[in-house]
Structure 1
Amino acid sequence: MHTLRPALLTDHYELTMVSAALRDGTADRRCVFEVFSRRLPAGRRYGVVAGTARLVDLIRAFRFDPAEIEYLRRTGVVDEPGAEWLSRYRFTGEIDGYAEGELFFPGSPILTVSGGFAECVVLETLVLSVLNHDCAVAAAAARMVTAARGRALIEMGSRRAHEEAAVAAARAAYLAGFRFTSNLAAGQRYGIPTAGTAAHAFTLLHDDERAAFASQVATLGKDTTLLVDTYDISQGIRNAIEVAGPELRAVRIDSGDLAVIAQQSRQLLDSLGATETKIIVSGDLDEYAIAALAAEPVDMYGAGTAVVTGSGAPTAGLVYKLVEVEGRPVVKRSEQKATIGGRKVAVRRHKPTGTATEEIVVPQGVPDHRPNDRLLQRSYVVDGEPMALPTLDESREHLRQCLISIPWEGLKLSAGDPAIPVTVVPAE
């Protein structure tokens, strides 16, 4: 099977810049690039950092093999000095950033990449493609987790995304608090619990619904979930309990007016003695649909398309900008896309109760320390060597604590200002 290596997951102009910088002698100038968002997607009050550990793994493997270099030379993307430089490429700089699971806001310096200009600039597209995707999915998933109010969610959007994006999306959704994924590759790579039983096709395969349910229960036991909406939902529930008995673990409903159907299904299950049988609903659910079901007798939600596409915001809008050259701040002065020069340090300020009040960002300096401040950046790569990283479950818990810390208005699904302001302190 042909698999792309990370070195060519980049844009043409990054390598032409390398060739030009090698020729004019600027390739090794010490530079600092920062990743940040100028604004949050419409209607959002926070972003979620996700994908950093994936990115570090990809940078570790970021090498140009002979076939790739020959392709770049043959097509004129690089000249001979550029090809020679690529053959020896190893990232030797530093990467610092916000922890996975950390919240971010407009202006938050969520990742800082420092080193020679050439070794940093070739990482731009890889950095942004990973973080823009994973952060978008994690933010949407976190909103769904909030809307679910403690009820479990399963990520089931693999068929609505590119095959590798689906695995990354499952990871980001689990980071955000989803309990399960349907994606087995994500289960194998990241240890995420997987779940799933049968589709409508399995019911249609059999001569009738009872036969399909009997086959599933015979194979998986009563601790399974039967899909009851292939034909008539009420009759499907009756058939499910008739076949499995009142000990059936759950039924799943994938269509119709879920609020009304959930109430009717709960009443019917209870009348059949299946008082402990859970109700799982799915079918184009996003955070708003989940919130609308908050008062209904639903035990678990299945989310697919909305979560893997960022629920209408498929990119986090992050940019990768040069902010410092050999210790000198540099700025882009475009009126619409201005940047603030200099390497930034960021802290999150909190009340004694633990509620976050603001984020302080200082270019070329360190914020004055106050009680209950929390430094936001940590080392990911030092002198080209990856540092030990938190586990996915630790990052998942970090996000849970972060969401607890922001003012309750920041958890609203309605449009509004960012949950906390970001204050940039002018450099002295």
Structure 2
Amino acid sequence: MNTGDLELPVTVPSTALFTDQYELTMVQAALRAGTAGRRSAFEVFARKLPEGRRYGVVAGTGRVLDAVENFRFDERMLGFLRSRGVVDEPTLEWLAGYRFRGDIDGYPEGEVYFPESPVMRVEGTFAECVLLETVVLSILNHDSAVAAAASRMAVAAGDRPLVEMGARRTHELAAVAASRAAYVGGFSSTSDLAAGFRYGIPTVGTSAHAFTLLHDTERDAFTAQVESLGRGTTLLVDTYDVATAVRTAVEIAGPELGAVRIDSGDLLLVAHRVRQQLDELGAKGTRIVVTSDLDEYAIASLAAAPVDAYGVGTRLVTGSGHPTSSMVYKMVARAEDTSPGAPLRPVAKRSLGGKSTLGGTKWAARPRDEEGVAEAEVIGTGPLPEELAEVSLQVPLVRGGEPVAREPLDTARERHRRSLEILPMSATQLSDGEPVLPTEHR
């Protein structure tokens, strides 16, 4: 299924209040000072990866394009700001006509990144760029964290499919975004119908323990499900006794039974016993799906088990211990005046405690060795060296306020798969380690 055909089936509401108050008060002060119209450049990057992670995954880019396009203040929003005294009337008038008309470049969705990688650059006037800070970071920090966890789980799962099942473990809107990010990172389907509707991600699901408990016997429950959903359905076999449930399931559905799901116990041991029992009963084609608080380490531990698919919830939607990517949105250049042709000058933050920044708009490239393996994440200012042009990482995302990089979600998913293929083999190790590529500055 090509998910790209269903990327925008519904209207995206305004994102203008998905921001912090100080973004608006800065605009007010800059308007009064006459500096709001200075051309500026902001970059999104992470100073470091989450502890122990060897690479990050860019996810949420498509949602950022939606958010930028729909960042508009309607009358109700302006009335709210007026009633709270957040900003003055001249600023409200300016906000009423706000549309982002600048340019955005960045790493395409699904690409990997490393410490200080300039994953996104936003250029325009100071006022129009600064307003986007919070919503851009909100999307990229969440989605990239989930995608990175999903990527690690997909690596651990190998060729076995992964089902995203975390909707009940997070905010209802975050669940949809998490499902999208998980798909980019390598998951094949979701249980969340909103994600299927919004982004065209394949959806799956059959029954929970409550369905079995509803009926007088487990046999009655299995019979009802098979009669309704067909012999290819997945029956949940650990409500009572697993061995009895498996035998009953095959008696009712026959060897055509699609799958059984195991949601508790020693999954490694139970999976081996269930596989043996299914084979003895003639259901050699019946698959085994396991769930129950899985993460990448639990999935890796089941590599030798006769498991056909995994369902993952809590650990996925919470980034498997790292729920944010800690990306920041910092000004790196500005013009000295508001004239249209004024050149951008580098600016940098000189804070203590590791919070300083490197001034100037940056390019990024990932050169490879003779065998096609990436060697480093090279970041620089000034013109991009000719020898790095073919391995440049940034692409145009928005031009003159209009998105120019919409793409099917499957494209981002495939890009991520290819990006992992060119990294050193140690990138896919689950043990804690340093970033697999060094960051070099030029």
The normalised TM-score by structure 2 is 0.94
2:122 paired residue among 113, 116, 127:
113
- Structure 1 residue 323: Cα displacement: 0.4
Aligned to 1:405: 422
Aligned to 2:56: 47
Q: Is residue 2:396 matched to residue 1:387? A: no
The 2-side partners of 1:313 and 1:276 are apart by 38
Matched residue SS, 1:324: strand
Return 61-70 or 4-13, whichever deviates more: 4-13
Aligned to 2:3: none
Query: What aligned pairs does 1:83-102 form with structure 2 within 5 A after superposition?
Result: 83-102=92-111
Matched residue SS, 2:387: coil
- Structure 1 residue 67: Cα displacement: 1.2
Query: What aligned pairs does 1:6-405 form with structure 2 within 5 A after superposition?
Result: 6-326=15-335, 327-335=344-352, 336-370=354-388, 373-405=390-422
The CA deviation string for residues 325-374 of structure 1, in whole angstroms up to 9 with x for no partner, is 11110111113201000000011111232211111111233134159x41
- Structure 1 residue 136: Cα displacement: 0.2
Matched residue SS, 1:316: coil
The CA deviation string for residues 193-217 of structure 1, in whole angstroms up to 9 with x for no partner, is 1000000000000000010000000
Q: Is the 8 A contact 2:366 2:392 kept in 1?
A: yes
Q: Is the 8 A contact 1:360 1:367 kept in 2?
A: no
The 2-side partners of 1:352 and 1:189 are apart by 42
Q: 1:370 to 1:320 in 2, by over 3 A?
A: closer
Matched residue SS, 1:246: helix
Q: Is the 8 A contact 1:346 1:367 kept in 2?
A: no
The 1-side partners of 2:227 and 2:119 are apart by 51
The normalised TM-score by structure 1 is 0.97
| 1:60 partner letter | E
- Structure 1 residue 42: Cα displacement: 1.1
| 2:373 partner letter | T
Q: Is the 8 A contact 1:344 1:365 kept in 2?
A: no
Matched residue SS, 1:283: coil
Q: Unaligned 5+ residue runs, structure 2? A: 1-11, 336-343
Q: Is the 8 A contact 2:398 2:405 kept in 1?
A: no
Matched residue SS, 1:33: strand
The 2-side partners of 1:410 and 1:111 are apart by 23
The 1-side partners of 2:432 and 2:385 are apart by 30
Q: Is the 8 A contact 1:284 1:305 kept in 2?
A: yes
The 2-side partners of 1:20 and 1:256 are apart by 60
Matched residue SS, 1:331: coil
Matched residue SS, 1:259: helix
- Structure 1 residue 188: Cα displacement: 1.1
Indicate the RMSD between aligned Cα atoms, in angstroms.
1.1
- Structure 1 residue 14: Cα displacement: 0.4
Matched residue SS, 2:43: strand
The 2-side partners of 1:320 and 1:58 are apart by 16
- Structure 1 residue 418: Cα displacement: 0.5
- Structure 1 residue 267: Cα displacement: 0.7
- Structure 1 residue 180: Cα displacement: 0.8
- Structure 1 residue 388: Cα displacement: 3.7
- Structure 1 residue 158: Cα displacement: 0.3
| 2:376 partner letter | E
Q: Is the 8 A contact 1:347 1:367 kept in 2?
A: no
Q: Give the ranges of 4+ consecutive aligned residues of structure 1 lying more than 3 Å apart after TM superposition.
A: none
Matched residue SS, 2:304: coil
| 2:367 partner letter | R
Matched residue SS, 1:356: coil
- Structure 1 residue 147: Cα displacement: 0.2
Q: Is the 8 A contact 2:396 2:405 kept in 1?
A: no
Q: Unaligned 5+ residue runs, structure 1? A: none
Q: Is the 8 A contact 1:324 1:343 kept in 2?
A: yes
- Structure 1 residue 4: Cα displacement: 6.7
Aligned to 2:439: 422
The 2-side partners of 1:21 and 1:267 are apart by 71
